[in-house]
A = this chain, B = another copy of it.
Amino acid sequence: MTTLTERQRLILALIIHTYVETAQPVGSKALIERYKLDTSSATIRNDMVELTEAGYLRQPYTSAGREPTEEGYRYFVRQLMGQTELPMNTRRTITHQFYQAGRDVNRWMRLAASVLAHQSQGASLVTSPRPESARFKHLSLISTHGRQVLMVMVWTGGQVRQQMLTLAEPVSQEQLSTAAGHINLVCEGLDTDGIAALRGQFDALEQDVIKLIREEQDRMKQVVSGEVYRDGLTNVLAEPEFAESESARKALRVLEERSMLEDLLSRTVLTSGMDDVQVLIGGEGTWEDLRDCSMVLGRYGAPGLVTGALGVLGPTRMAYGRTVSTVRFVSGLLSDLVIEMLAEEN
């Protein structure tokens, strides 16, 4: 593969830029007009031929304009796009919104999904922060009725889970409080293995409670264990490539079905570093349902403690620069918030 000249790289970038806006094949004359180039259309055409031979452009039919291939987008993302950042005032506004949401993780997630969808004009998804090593923090036992007890468990990272427990025989609120106090004292800061090592230190009541705590702890380790927040699904329906709804349907199903999502995320972001933003173009040959789509995926959280995934789905013809910087910014912001919250708790 011959290396591209500087002008060819420029032309590729301009074609992608134009095509992202218009969704129409780009011709040589249109390019000159649009960007006031001082080369002639014939020259551009010669370069276009080479870019086509290199596999970065394609003609939908003979004697039409060119449009980028998936390879073309990949080259663009890797080599031409450069690092951009969201405008300062946008970043300030978003940051402000997050800090206004207080400590409510649910609201963070909703807000993150909303911001991603809005900024990128695509469909967004955010998974709840998942503890990588769920450490126990606090337990409350609340007597409700007869032998029914409501357990409220708090974990490092801010997760709060509840569970009902039915005892063999009625127990007073004082006994429950004592048991909870004992468990809190002994188990604070421990992970599953740590709690498992303490067997035998507990009485019958406490054993029952501990069993449920460990079950809950295991459940929290699943990849997409908690809620999945989505937003902007209707954005992608506005794109012309999804005008016939069959392709839109296929793409949105990936976001909708937990099993597909789990597969996708566990094979991409969840095995990558925290600050990498991954760009999947055209399904990368692996995901048939994402043929006409691209995804920009990121990861957030505190490495080794709690992490979650987030991302944007859009047409292959996507404004990658803006989307990547949005995903990077939001993931950084969520990481900061989560780490801050974690720090406060210890």
- Show the binding face of A for B, using Cβ within 8 Å: 102-104, 106, 137-138, 140, 142, 144-146, 148, 150, 152, 154, 158, 160, 162-164, 227, 231-234, 237-238, 242-246, 248-249, 252-253, 256, 343-346
Are B152 and A345 interface neighbours, CB within 8 A?
no
In the assembled complex, which residues on chain B have CB atoms less than 8 Å from the CB atom of A234?
249, 252-253, 256
A246–B245 CA distance with the chains assembled, in angstroms: 10
- Taking a contact as CB atoms closer than 8 A, the residue among B103, B152, B231, B232 that contacts A160 in the complex is B152
Interfacial chain B residues near A249, Cβ < 8 Å: 234, 237-238
Contact call B160/A154, Cβ cutoff below 8 A: no
Additional 18 contacts, C-beta under 8 A, given A144-B344, A152-B152, A233-B252: A104-B163, A106-B227, A138-B140, A138-B142, A140-B140, A145-B343, A146-B344, A150-B154, A152-B154, A158-B162, A164-B344, A232-B256, A234-B252, A237-B245, A237-B248, A243-B245, A245-B245, A245-B248
Is the contact region of chain A dominated by helix, strand, or loop, or is it mixed? mixed
**Given the complex, which residues of B lie within 8 Å of A152, measured CB to CB?**
140, 152, 154, 160
Does the CB pair A137–B142 fall under 8 Å? yes
A-B residue pairs, 7 tightest by C-beta: A103-B164, A237-B249, A144-B345, A237-B245, A140-B140, A145-B344, A148-B344
Q: Are A164 and B237 in contact (CB under 8 A)?
A: no
For A146, the closest partner residue in chain B by CB is: B344
Please give the distance in Å from A20's CB to the nearest CB on chain B: 19
- Minimal beta-carbon separation of A149 from chain B (angstroms): 10
